Structure 1
């Protein structure tokens, strides 16, 4: 006999673990725990689709061709009159909008949204930011499709290697220009200013992606990992090895010799040197603790319960970094079902929850404008540590004003919706008497819908 269905627990779970309830979701007859377990154990991570969603090498090659064509046009006719009408969108604009549209479509249709939330979590953990420039703006969505999605329910070591060696990460953290000082390329160049070793990727791999800032490494380890990473770059021209823009290991730029990282020595065996080092970092107890802390903070509380963090870290180590087992332990943890809604929905979660709850067709341009106003455009974090994951960041007075504006605009779009029915569909038993009274007193349906969206029970999860 199956578990009894608790509507309050269902409403809580669809906000805390998922992307919010859709019409009819709270009335379903299956316990939400069983739905979450099935999604995790199925291991299926949907892929966004669309005609403008190319591979990273294809997109980078097209971007370079477009930039060269613009330069040639300017050089050929510097005094030519400006063409009438708005300019055609660039490949980076077209691609970025197409990637956002594809994410919104997946998020709107997902049964719970839990798998999408995991993808967003890991894409933020391994941040590449479109704010860096056209190359990342055109490839950030592809990075998520190629390096993140295939591994969010797999082994952490596979996710780590895929993210660290993806062209977008190599560009974003400047590894494409990192040359071993004693490599053939380094010796030809000499060690002048601005040349040679770049430690950005090595530092962030240790501080953000694996061990954490207090994970027990030092500056010598940053330099050691940077040396191991030398030579990981991109193909510049099409040849038998791969398209321009694909990841390449350039032996002539790789620092020769053995390297000692965290007390362990890695022989110079070409690209395998990095794979071995990352495998060991992926299995490190500090990595387990760092990943467990970030997952618990994201899904449960800004100050996560220590017992939950310890349990997730132990599962990570015992299960060889199997992320499906870690997130299964998360959704089965009693601490994760605390009835008090402690987390604030991020702008992305808020925007998508509103779209799902009102059954609105995804409007990528409106969503992009709204997320820019709220401070969380897709793949555009201001620094490599990604978007913040705490209430203080998102519940600022400016942030709440921007949410109120977006809620009012959304209410106008859904002015035909009955606010009380909407509250029942998305909040159900979570809605307090106070919230219900405020909604009933709304001067219009549009205002009533906006009040549901701004209710504490909708803003929190």
Structure 2
């Protein structure tokens, strides 16, 4: 079904990443067809970089980094200081100025994190529409981890998204759920490696017990939702079921250092009930079977259908849209490609009102695409932190908020203005004429008021900043 040109562009902002100069000439037709083509092709960008490696390599490197740090901490300081002192009687006079000190190399976890952030942002520059990338970001936030948990999670954050989220964006929800909950980044973030079955050999020996963090968030956030009909007893049972899901240590006793491992010595033995079903003792398989049932639970379908509609369409999404997404989810048993296609095909998702404010990560990608700017870690990290959405660093396991009120605060809007002004100044020397840029990245979306503001700007930098802060650019 053909759509008017304004709704076409709004749809690409609502479900995609924003226009780049030149995109208008190649889009043509109905934007819905372009978005559905990404679903059909399972098109999800893969962040690439020479230094990007997987969880196992990161684990080995991180353990080596820890050993090196430990050795440096334990090194005798007097000897270290003596090595840095000039020889007796020596002097620097007459030898000319000393070369400037070389800045120390960032620690390994920070280097990995920097590379992953830049690669993630580069991936968002590639697609024409970018529905797959937007979905990857949605699911990454749904199954969030936080680098504030420590250096190991900081090092693993990018690999976690590449390994557990992106391969399953157009796959089956059950596969994504299993990949997420067994990934070292999630196990460390929610402390499951510290969870010990009280009646396991280790529990009896050490007198330690369960840690319910991961089990609680699996049920409350990742699957059923807070109103999903589970009890505290179910949380405790799931915590027992997934004891033993851990990360292999540096000694390799449980497996490749840094990779997922099942430690039978800390697993709570026996049968455990969960949501009215008994799960027989089966080691790691017991946890896998429980997660599969949670993935297919009706409450999971309702919870995630609502969350998808809220993220893409409106804070209070149309009930008909939520019902349609829920029905597709249940009928296809969590086929995320089918659910994503239903979202695009639903008329309720194509309201002409731009009801959602772009979140900072979305906004920054749209700015990079509009200005043709190369993603560099420093400016990206600074802008995201200033706007309140640093990459892979939410304040809690519920992720960054999905509602407009969280981002449209007075302080939040002021920060957006500051970022737009700074980027406008930086782009003024290289960007095209602001009026041409306005037409290229907003096209028929641009209002008369926005066009006049850009034309009447006192400088090129101000004109670009006004474009970036316009309601048509900030909202979707």
SS at match of 1:406: helix
Aligned to 1:204: 217
Give the whole-Å Cα distance in 2 for the aligned partners of 1:179 and 1:382: 26
Alpha-carbon distance in 2 for matches of 1:438, 1:275: 57
Contact 1:7–1:26 (CA<8 Å) still a contact in 2? no
Matched, 1:222 2:235: yes
State yes or no: 1:187 paired with 2:197.
no
The equivalent residue for 2:108 is: 91
Q: What is the match of residue 307 of structure 2?
A: 294
Q: 1:389 aligns with which of 391, 397, 402?
A: 402
Mark the runs of 5 or more structure 2 residues left unpaired by the alignment: 85-100
Q: Tell me by how many angstroms 1:241 deviates.
A: 6.1
Partner SS state of residue 108, structure 1: coil
Q: Which residue, out of 295, 303, 306, partners 2:316?
A: 303
Q: Indicate if the aligned counterparts of 1:206 and 1:212 stay in contact, CA closer than 8 A.
A: yes
- CA–CA distance in 1 between the matches of 2:198 and 2:20? 57
User: What's the offset of the Cα at 1:78?
Assistant: 2.0
How far apart, in 2, do the equivalents of 1:372 and 1:18 lie?
A: 23
Measure the CA separation in 1 of the matches of 2:18 and 2:43.
20
- The residue aligned with 2:145 is 128
Question: Which position in structure 2 is the counterpart of 1:11?
Answer: 9
Tell me which residue corresponds to 2:436. Answer: 421
| Larger gyration radius, structure 1 or structure 2 | 2
1:148-184, CA deviations, whole angstroms, 9 ceiling, x for partnerless residues? 0111110101100110110000000000011110111
Deviations along 1:421-454, one digit per CA (max 9) or x if unpaired, are 1111111111111111111110011100000000
Matched, 1:438 2:437: no
Q: What is the SS of the residue equivalent to 1:233?
A: strand
2:129 paired with 1:112: yes
Matched-pair contact (CA < 8 Å) for 1:11–1:426: no
In 1, the alpha carbon distance for the partners of 2:148 and 2:75 equals 31
2:94 corresponding residue in structure 1: none
1:459 and 1:237 mapped to 2: Cα distance?
47
Matched ranges for 1:150-189 at <5 A: 150-189=167-206
Q: Could you tell me the TM-score, scaled by structure 1's length? A: 0.96
Take 2:131 and 2:112, find their aligned partners in 1: how far apart are those partners? 25
TM, length-normalised to structure 2: 0.93
Distance 1:239 1:373 in 2: 41
CA distance in 2, matches of 1:438, 1:312: 40
In the alignment, what sits opposite 2:88?
none
The answer for the alignment partner of 1:232 in structure 2 is 245
Distance, in Å, in 2 between the alignment partners of 1:119 and 1:264 is: 32
Distance in 2 between the 1:402 and 1:386 partners? 21
Structure 1: distance between partners of 2:106 and 2:206: 39
RMSD of aligned Cα (Å) = 1.5
Which range moved further: 80-89 or 134-143? 80-89
Displacement of 1:10:
2.4
Deviation sequence 1:71-104 (CA, Å, 0-9, x none): 2123223243498442111111111110011111
Give 1:233 deviation, angstroms.
0.6
Question: How many angstroms apart in 2 are the aligned matches of 1:73 and 1:217?
Answer: 49
For 2:90, the equivalent position in structure 1 comes to none
Distance 2:428 2:468 in 1: 13
**Which residue of the partner structure matches residue 139 of structure 1?**
156
1:447 corresponds to: 462
**Post-superposition shift, 1:388?**
0.5
Deviation at 1:4, TM superposition (A): 4.3
Say which SS state the counterpart of residue 109 (structure 1) adopts.
coil
Displacement of 1:239? 4.2
Aligned length: 455
Q: Which residue of 1 aligns with 2:354?
A: 341
SS at match of 2:278: strand
What is the alpha-carbon distance in structure 1 between the residues aligned to residue 400 and residue 259 of structure 2?
27
Partner residue of 1:360 out of 349, 352, 373 = 373
Using the alignment, how far apart are the partners of 1:342 and 1:143 within structure 2? 31
Q: For 1:316-358, what per-residue CA distance to the aligned partner results, in whole angstroms no more than 9, with x for missing partners?
A: 0001100000010001111110000000000001111011011
